[in-house]
Amino acid sequence: GHGLLLATVLGRNPHLKGTLFDAPHVIEGAKEGPLKPFLSRCTLASGDMFASVPAGADAYMMKHIIHDWPDDRCIHLLKVCRKAVNPGGRLLVIDSVIQPDNEFSPAKFLDLQMLLFPGGQERTEKQFRDLFTAAGWRLNRVVPTPAGEAVVEGLPA
């Protein structure tokens, strides 16, 4: 998208400011997209997330990012965020979390799709915990959402 998640957060929390950090073409589209009413409280920035992210945030929120990449790339990205976060800040990863049972779950099919196409994967809570630990974060909690995804919250370790 072009900042819909951040626009939703800013719309519901008028005291917050945010930064949309994405590829240049996404940032260009965001100027006239869902963030337009919030541009006075929002910074638009582009770059390579594997090189750096805008420093000094209280939270880094990623939706459908971690599942695109194999573990080594995820650990690198999470380390980049860990280096940039303010003391006492947090990491919010919004993705599917595979449950350990054998019950049907759309996340299990998405896991196969992610493996075949971009080379990523959906992860279990333990796999998220291991990624976070390797990158200097501590998994604090997993909050399921009605949309079938979860917010996986990390705190600096």
Q: How far apart are CA 64 and CA 33, in angstroms?
A: 19
Does the pLDDT of residue 68 top 60, yes or no? yes
Q: Of the residues 2, 15, 64, 67, which is catalytic? A: 67
pLDDT tens readout for residues 82-94: 999 999 999 999 9
**Catalytic-residue membership of 25:** no
Average pLDDT over every residue of 30-43: 95
Q: Which residue has the higher pLDDT, 117 or 150?
A: 150
Average pLDDT over every residue of 76-80: 98
Q: For residue 1, with 0-12 CB atoms within 10 Å meaning exposed, 13-18 middle and 19 or more buried, which class applies?
A: middle
Closest CA to 88 of 138, 152, 156: 156
Closest CA to 97 of 42, 152, 49, 47: 152
Average pLDDT over every residue of 11-38: 95
- Half-sphere exposure in the Cβ direction for 104 (13 Å, CA): 0
Does the pLDDT of residue 111 top 60, yes or no? no
Cβ atoms of 53 and 80 within 8 Å: the answer is yes
Does the pLDDT of residue 108 top 90, yes or no? no
Average pLDDT over every residue of 56-77: 96
Average pLDDT over every residue of 135-152: 96
Average pLDDT over every residue of 6-32: 95
155: left (phi over 0), alpha (psi -120 to 50) or beta: beta
Residue 19 CB contacts under 8 Å (≥ 6 apart), including other chains: 42, 43, 44, 45, 54, 57
